[in-house]
Amino acid sequence: MAATASARTRSLRASIWGSYRPEGSRDLRFDFIRGFAVLAMVVDHIGGPSWLYTVTGGNKFYTSAAEGFIFISGLLVGLVYRRIIEREGFAPAMRKALERAGVLYLLTVGVTLPLILVSEMLDLPWATGVYFTDPWALVIGVLTLHRTYYLIDVMVLYTLLLAVAPFALYALAHGQTRLLLLATWGLWLAFQIAPDQADIPWPIQGNYLFHFSAWQVLFFTAMTIGYYRERVASWFSRRTQWLLFGLSAVGFALLIALYRLGDGVWQMLPWQNPAFADPNELIVLIFGKGDVRPGRIVASIVVFGFIFLLVTLFWRPLHRALGWLLMPLGANALYAYTAHIVLLVLLTVALLPFPSFNRELRWLNTLIQLAGVLLIWALIRWRVFFPRPETRVRWALVPLALAVLVLVVAPLDPSPTQAGWDEPGLQAAAPRRAANAFGTPIPRGANPNALPLPESRRLPETRPGAQGARAASGTNALPEYVGPIHGRFVEQWFFSRALNREMPYYLYLPPDYDESGRGYPVLYLLHGASGDAAEWPVYGFIDVLDRSIQANDIEPFMVVLPQGDFGYWVNHAEGGYRWGDYVTRDLVAQVDSTYRTLRRPYRRAIGGLSMGGYGALVQAFRHPEVFGTVGAHSPSLREDNSVVDFLGEGAEFAERDPVSLAQTAPNLEQLQIWIDIGEEDPWYPRALLLHSTLLERGIPHEWTVWPGDHDMDYWTAHIPDYLRFYSHALTRR
């Protein structure tokens, strides 16, 4: 009796906590895990921060659903097509693999064309400013996979991987496994060392993250594992699985702890390297997503190894609880991903009439994301718009019809105010990327504020006619202070009507500016009273910006560095110099008419340090219809004491005083405002008064006080913080 009871107990436990047992030829675990990856993508793309980010990582963890999706896809290709080769032969397997790549190509093109058209016409939050002045080039670029778009980049990557998969299958089927692994890991290593030279198959406009040379290592390594699945599975006994499960659980916990501790843990390292003064740069070097850095590969092995073993060892309870949801999503991953793009567009368009809608409410975002997942699940269950064999030809003609639609609609020019419809202005001649590496960065330990600025850094006199010393338009500038970069840094001149003279400015163009054919947000960055237009580059701003864009840490944007002398960037009292109009009217118009810019206030920022912070606040507060974002870094907020006579007194001073404008200026709630200052900064009391004034009026803003004084060391240390703020502000609506 006791033995019978014990057997029943073991049977009951096995039925409740039983591990995975194969049922047929299809491995259901992969559908389950890929379904979770699809769910995470939906959650991370729809809405905003939510409680579900605790589970998905919010696309900010050391690995993401994209790595899981690509790896599992490669695994299934190796597993499935080996069976086809064994059952039908090599040639039929190759034909089916190419047919699968063709279907994915049609889906990718069919989604890209309408997404670009709708996003740019309606100026949706992720619109990148694609110019429609040459619709034929746009359509051909999409059809030839030379152009992609938001959320489609991973589909382009998957299409290219499947197109190359037959060659990998040939190597596996003919015993060339080592050669395949050597090639795939060799290409990955080459991309880590020299990404520009190892980036294949061709440049893809709009692709900033999924570089084929880096991401292919996940796909083809997984494909090899899938091809030899039975041999690999024989290496892991039940006891070994439990051991690896425990080790991966510990590794996963350590990654979570490392992520939660944030930058602080990296500052505790026993060694210090000046090249990584910003901990975030070191994190990107180790865990960078676009380049699939070594740390990201290790994190992916740990995290997805843990998930796979968890699903394997606790299959029955997990399948019983979540299988109804995840299995359909995983088995129909491409349909689910496409549906989530359509859902995202519809939701965003529905919210356009409500600009004040709070997109940061976690509980609301959680509900929206759950509703989106359930809606996609319902569409799959009821097979809504599922392609069938009898409708295959009609579905194949959809991309062609959409291409014709783009060619017809694009020239109609329904909204001349949109950047995407304007004819881009004439651009200065520019060398190609290969000629853009130049100069040596200024040593970060030096303090140019401690000594007079060297003559080599001084701009030529800006009086009328003093133009003999200028650099040729469009050439690289300040090689002694801007190190080797992937973008371009040039000096330009233009005639300012407000000042009635020609004025210089420096301009940074992102690495892909020459090839992308799209518009960019713009940051106008103002120097302080003791500096000139070269001040920010001397502090390393351009170097850090270029590295951050190249590492995909921030979104690309342009930077304009004007010359302001000691004008405080405002129109002077009693009809004096019009330094404010020079920036807000003349310079903005010059840049917008010359370069591919996004010409909406929320795509245009102004910032500055010290005197530049003062001027940035005044211009943004007085002209929120021009600048949607303002950053004031250690602003030297003058008082009404006639020390600077051109600021005026009384009512005239109030028109030029950020604190007074914070009390009276209209529409400040439209601005994204950042103010930071050091604890020992002599301007701290006045900055605190500005902060209090904005609080009393209920104007949202970011206020930060860090250790430090009013000097180069303070500004240099916080350049990464400034970049993250401007990137986030300029790329969201």
pLDDT in tens, 88-137: 998 999 899 999 999 899 999 999 999 998 888 888 878 777 777 778 88
Confidence grade of residue 640 (pLDDT, cut at 50, 70, 90): confident
- pLDDT at residue 733, as a whole number: 59
Reading the block at residue 424, the tokens are 């881009």
54 vs 365: CA distance, rounded Å: 13
CB neighbours of 159 closer than 8 A, spacing ≥ 6? 101, 104, 105, 108, 145
Of the ranges 101-115, 312-326, 413-427, which one carries the lowest mean pLDDT score? 413-427
Confidence grade of residue 658 (pLDDT, cut at 50, 70, 90): very high
Q: What is the mean pLDDT of the chain?
A: 83
- pLDDT at residue 452, as a whole number: 34
Sequence length of the chain is 733
Residue from 146, 629, 131 nearest 427 by CA? 131
What is the dotted CATH code of the domain comprising 483-730?
A: 3.40.50.1820
Place of tokens 């409410």: 361
The stretch 527-540 carries a mean pLDDT of 91
460 vs 462: CA distance, rounded Å: 6
Q: Residue 480: CA atoms inside 13 Å, Cβ hemisphere, count? A: 7
Of the ranges 77-81, 453-457, 609-613, which one carries the lowest mean pLDDT score? 453-457
| 462 pLDDT higher than 60 | no
- pLDDT at residue 269, as a whole number: 55
Q: For 523, phi and psi rounded to 5 degrees?
A: -110, 125
Place of tokens 């439990």: 242
Confidence grade of residue 154 (pLDDT, cut at 50, 70, 90): very high
Question: In this structure, which amino acid lies at residue 195?
Answer: P
- For the residues of 684-713, what is the DSSP string, one character each? HHHHHHHHHHHHHHT---EEEEES--SSHH
Confidence grade of residue 262 (pLDDT, cut at 50, 70, 90): low
* pTM of the complete model beyond 0.75: no
Give bridge partners of residue 205 from the DSSP assignment.
Answer: 147
The stretch 169-197 carries a mean pLDDT of 93
Of the ranges 226-230, 254-258, 453-457, 560-564, which one carries the lowest mean pLDDT score? 453-457
Residue from 491, 489, 526, 486 nearest 505 by CA? 491
C-alpha torsion angle, residues 477, 481, 483, 489 (rounded to 10): -30
- pLDDT at residue 417, as a whole number: 41
What SS3 state is found at 609? strand
612 vs 618: CA distance, rounded Å: 10
- pLDDT at residue 18, as a whole number: 67
pLDDT tens profile 39-76: 999 998 888 888 998 888 888 888 999 999 999 999 99
pLDDT tens profile 620-629: 999 998 999 9
| 461 pLDDT higher than 80 | no
Reading the block at residue 485, the tokens are 């970069």
- pLDDT at residue 467, as a whole number: 34
**H helices present in 441-556, as ranges:** 513-516, 535-538, 541-550
Confidence grade of residue 356 (pLDDT, cut at 50, 70, 90): low
Contact 444, 274 (CB under 8 A): yes
Place of tokens 């709630």: 669
Q: State the greatest distance between any 2 C-alpha atoms of the chain, in Å, as a whole number.
A: 108
Reading the block at residue 106, the tokens are 């049609």
| 552 pLDDT higher than 60 | yes
Report CA-CA distances (Å) from 255 to 58, 241, 248, 258. 15, 21, 10, 5
Which secondary-structure segment (H or E) carries 523? strand 522-526
Residue from 583, 579, 479, 580 nearest 534 by CA? 479
Confidence grade of residue 266 (pLDDT, cut at 50, 70, 90): low
Kindly give the pairing relationship between strand 702-706 and strand 672-678. parallel
Q: Using CA of residue 432, residue 435, residue 441, residue 442, what is the dihedral sign?
A: negative
Q: For 666, phi and psi rounded to 5 degrees?
A: -80, 160
